[in-house]
Amino acid sequence: MKATGPPATPNVLDLDHELAGHAEHLQYRWDNYVNFRREIEQNEGGLAQFASAYQVNGLIPKPDGGATFREWMPWAQEAQLIGDFNGWDGNATPLTKGDFGVWECDLPPGTIEHGSRYKVRIKAPHGGWVDRLSAWTRYAVAEARMDATYDGIFWNPPANERHVWAHQRPAAPATFAPVIYEAHVGMATEESRVGTYREFADTVVPRIAAGGYNTVQLMAVMEHAYYASFGYHVTIPFGVCSRQGNPEDLKYLVDACHAHGLVVIMDVVHSHVSSNEVDGIAGMEMGQGDAASTYYHMGERGYHKLWDSKLYNYGTYEVRRYLLSNLRYWLEEFNFDGFRFDGVTSMLYHHHGIHRSFSGDFNEYFGTDTDVDACVYLMLANELIRSSIPATSTSLSIAEDVSGMPTLCRPVRDGGVGFDYRLAMGLPDVFINLLENVPDEHWSMQNLVATLCNRRFAMEKTIAYVESHDQSIVGDKTVLMWLLGPEIYTGMSALGEPTAVVRRGMSLHMMMRLMTFFFGGEGYLTFMGNEFGHPEWVDFPREGNEWSHDMCRRQWSLADMDHLRYTHLQAFDRAMLKLEKIFHVLEAGNHFVVSMVDDERKLIVVERGPLVAVFNFHPSESIDELTVGVGRPGKYWPALDADDWKFGGEGRVAWFERFTIPEPYPMEVGDRPCTMVVNSPCRSAVVYFNVDDWPDCEFAPAIEEQKVHTVVELADSTDGAIGTVM
């Protein structure tokens, strides 16, 4: 059978006719991708082989007890390997320059032991000698943990100290919608210190699984010398962050996530690298003109002025090899299931998105401002992720992009960049602006719906969220801090009646999350602790706060104390996510109907999958008999009630209320064929489910027998035995 190659023209041009005016640009991008794929097929034998350089570069143990060392340093005049094993200055091991500027040596058995420290000593073009970390360093440590000089560690533990994998990656279901728990291991302890991978695995992972999340996104895994960078000023791309443990500890954590059925992705930072030359890969650039250029662009193009960091040259053969090998390393050595790519907007454009406001005009995305080399690299990266993880397992690739570039989340085979999802980065900004500047009695329901629906429905998928780590960083406030002000500390006791401020804040905190989850995207995300309204922003230890950890931790116990209202918010978050487990809300994709948007009465009614959600944002006016439109006749029960007592509400929707729809009649309410009459409490939301969509379950009798209010409460009382809606 004759093999078929990639199509001559990217399929996205046929799939999305809005792109027709930019066919030349998309064709140019596609041709660049296809040509490079052919080049590595001819030179390397394929993408996987091209991305396997981590197996032979750096300090690699050999089966006989020796080791090899290889480093690409085309600008070096001389090079040596130094460390504990040869007395550092006393007996340096010389490196020999081979083809393509690669320096190497072979260490006989018994020369170097597990845990030995090492560096590369290099004679630079200017004639001076410098000591540097290998770009391929797997593990490095520093004496002073927050801001210090690192040494590479030869990681080759004996068999009894190596992690033995016990659990498979989560199997790929027919459909999968990520419900993501964004987490930072170091700040995940209640104590004022850096937490560890093993502590996180044993104490936090079970909480995540119990909360209803199906995906863990781990931040700050790649080594970074400056802790306060939140892990985004990476110094050693292949290095496991040593503050939190060693490589075996990280494997233990990933394995623990898989044991709970959780998909695990990591924040990968390929958009830039720390300018710290002493502690990281930035030191592998001598800056002696183009001849000395290795990983980065030279001059202004190689420097991000807002981040004070270096920028990779994505168009070069060896940089692509290095970065793709980095991805394969994390996927294969640590069994990660994918990545959240940081700073994608900076990668996509020569202007890096600095001082740019994207309007949605396609000319902003496809033109001379676009870095086609970076686009091609990301296409290769996403193709590698798909091919590295078995089709029977779940893989995931997410872009942190604020620009909204079309085709970013279309498959590579169609000519897209290949991400599965993009983050809806504009949503938190809209919510914060409302909380800061607009009293909620003046919120526009039309604008809220427009914001939540502002995405390319049919073509690309979005992860929606109210707040991530970005909204928690010092200098900003979490959503609950905006809502409650000082009462986040003084008003959260559940032993008495809540103040008006607390009642409003609790209600809006839940409603904003529910509407964002319900129809804001095809996936959902929260940053750890925000699900229960953690009462502090995030401030890492730094000179400005006298290196304090007091605001770089999570007080889990607050959510576990029945006498505090934080437990109500946690209970609501778990109940909300149970809607996905039972009803597959997010898996319904973009199939939803907004049937009512009433600015005067502050009402929004949305149908998604088998559910109908009624939101009443009015601060004071409840509606006892609200007629809303729905898609089908049948008997409707509450599935989730944000006003439930157990969520700190007032219980204004009686558990015994049943809603039966009369015979269908068209075009009466919101262009829907049927209607039902419901009780809509002010500043609250109720989600309803049509019993007829669950034909195999004695649903109504179970509700009456259990004397429970909602479907999610029934699921709790029967330990999930009611099953799921198919």
Cα–Cα distance between 399 and 377 in angstroms, integer?
13
CA 695 to chain centre: 37
Question: In sequence order, which residues have a C-beta less than 8 Å from that of residue 367 and are 6 or more positions away?
Answer: 25
Three-class SS state of 222 = strand
Catalytic residue among 151, 249, 255, 342: 342
Q: Which SS3 state, helix, strand or coil, does residue 256 take?
A: helix
Residue 197, C-beta contacts closer than 8 angstroms, at least 6 positions apart: 185, 244, 245, 249, 250, 252, 253
The one-character DSSP state at 92 is P
Closest CA to 103 of 57, 147, 51, 146: 57
| Amino acid identity for residue 386 in this structure | R
C-alpha 585, offset from chain centre: 20
Rounded to whole angstroms, how far apart are CA atoms 711 and 128? Answer: 72
Angle between helices 445-452 and 426-437 (to 10 degrees): 160
Look up residue 147 and give its DSSP letter.
S
Q: Let me know: does 113 contact 162? Beta carbons within 8 Å.
A: no
Closest by Cα among 686, 684, 681 to 621: 681
Side-chain-facing half-sphere of 628: CA atoms under 13 Å: 32
Q: What is the DSSP letter of 119?
A: E
Residues 298-302: contacts with CB under 8 Å, at least 24 apart? 301/350
3-state secondary structure of 580: helix
- Could you give phi then psi for residue 83, rounded to 5 degrees? 170, -170
Q: What are the distances in angstroms from CA 596 to CA 244, 627, 659, 660?
A: 49, 10, 19, 19
Q: How many CB atoms lie within 10 A of CB 263?
A: 25
What gap in Å lies between CA 545 and CA 551, rounded to an integer?
10
CB neighbours of residue 251 within 10 Å: 21
Does residue 342 have an active-site annotation? yes
State the Rg of the chain over Cα.
27
Q: List the structure tokens of 291.
A: 């001849």
Nearest to 418 by CA among 360, 359, 338, 356: 338
> Catalytic residue at 400?
yes
**Which residues in 296-328 are b (16+ Cβ under 10 Å) and which e?**
bbeeeebbbeebebbbbbbbbebbbbbbbbbbb
Rounded CA separation 241/123 (Å): 29
> Tokens for 303?
């420097």
Q: How far apart are the first and last CA of the chain?
A: 40
Phi, psi of 121 (to 5 degrees): -105, 125
CA distance 174 to 299: 49
Q: Is 679 helix (H, G, I), strand (E, B) or coil?
A: strand
Distance, C-alpha 309 to centroid of its chain: 22
Residue of 277, 400, 420, 522 with catalytic role: 400
The Cα–Cα gap between 446 and 459 comes to 24
Give catalytic residues, as residue numbers. 342, 400
